[in-house]
Amino acid sequence: MPSSKDSNRREFLQTLITGAAGISLSYQAFGRPQSAAITANKLTDNVAVITGTGGNVTVLSGPDGLLMVNGGLPERCADLMKVLSDQFKEQRVQVLFNTDWHLDNTGSNETLRKAGAKIIAHENTKLWLGADFFCEWENRAYKPRPALSFPNETFYTNGKMNFGAEKIEYGYLPQAHTDGDIYVFFRGQNILMTGDLVSVGAYPVLDYTTGGWIGGMLEATKALVNLANAETRVVPGRGPVQTRADLEAQQEMLTTMKERLIKLMRSGMGPDDWIAAAPTKDFDARWGNPERFLKNAYRGMWGHVRELGGIV
């Protein structure tokens, strides 16, 4: 005869899977195809990075359950919950961090809130999830998400918490990828989750529609470099685990590109002229096609044109 514990576990898993099945959003993160296979790769005895959900999901296992950083796409949520069940048995997700508002990070919010999880994010992330707006560079309209998909704990600057024996640090890095970007740092294990503040194999996405721009991305990268040391394992929004050296390479690229693009803007050139001038050619071998990066950088810089000086 099944125990009450087994029954409770089945009810919990059914809640997760049913909630996820109710979300039917078609989305491919920033135009990149989503992976079909969801896999869990251990970084330490109690930290794993799950891939294949549209973005990296980091999971910390503690004595009282699981802490997650980002939750993948809505349409991958049910599959993610099955992987969590298989990998971590009866442990519930107690805490979920959203590193920004994009769907590849917030796709499990509604399901996990219904199951009782605490969802932590910057206040601006909550505001964007509740907003009705058009994202020009994606050519996509966003409607308000259901209220249960909103974070139920928000902050403005930084914070700390204990999760079992692990000390968790998190902080706000403004107007970089978006205006709600945060990092999450497991300092004891020297694992730094950056979300899409760090880009692998493609130029960073500067989502100017929701406050991102190259100057903020540069300052955020500098802050991440200062948090890390040579042994830090850096978990980006997607792609393999990185190092402090990779953060330094992104900082060098952004420093150079900001300087070059300011000069091009002061000369009166527009985004098509920028693309023709090929200011990124030194970096394309590592970061790929620069067209979206340059177009978004142009729009974002116009939002900060007075502080750049000498343009208007």
Q: What is the pLDDT of residues 161-184, one digit of tens each?
A: 999 999 999 999 999 999 999 999
* Token digits of residue 218: 């540069």
Where do the structural domains in the chain lie, given as residue ranges?
A: 4-308
The CATH architecture assigned to 4-308 reads: 4-Layer Sandwich (3.60)
| Higher pLDDT among residues 33 and 273, named by residue | 273
- What's the gap between Cα 188 and its chain centre? 22
Q: Tokens 């694992």 sit at which residue?
A: 191
Cα torsion for 203, 71, 32, 233, to the nearest 10°?
Answer: 40
Tallying the residues shown for the chain, one arrives at: 312
30 confidence band (pLDDT: 50, 70, 90): low
Determine contact, residues 157/172, Cβ cutoff 8 Å: yes
Q: What is the pLDDT of residues 58-112, one digit of tens each?
A: 999 999 999 999 999 999 999 999 999 999 987 999 999 999 999 999 999 999 9
Q: How far apart are CA 185 and CA 191, in angstroms?
A: 6
Q: For position 36, what pLDDT does the model report? A: 63
Please check the confidence at residue 16 and state whether its pLDDT lies above 50.
no
Burial class (CB in 10 A: 0-12, 13-18, 19+), 256: middle
The C-alpha angle 175, 71, 143, rounded to 5 degrees, equals 65
Determine contact, residues 255/225, Cβ cutoff 8 Å: no
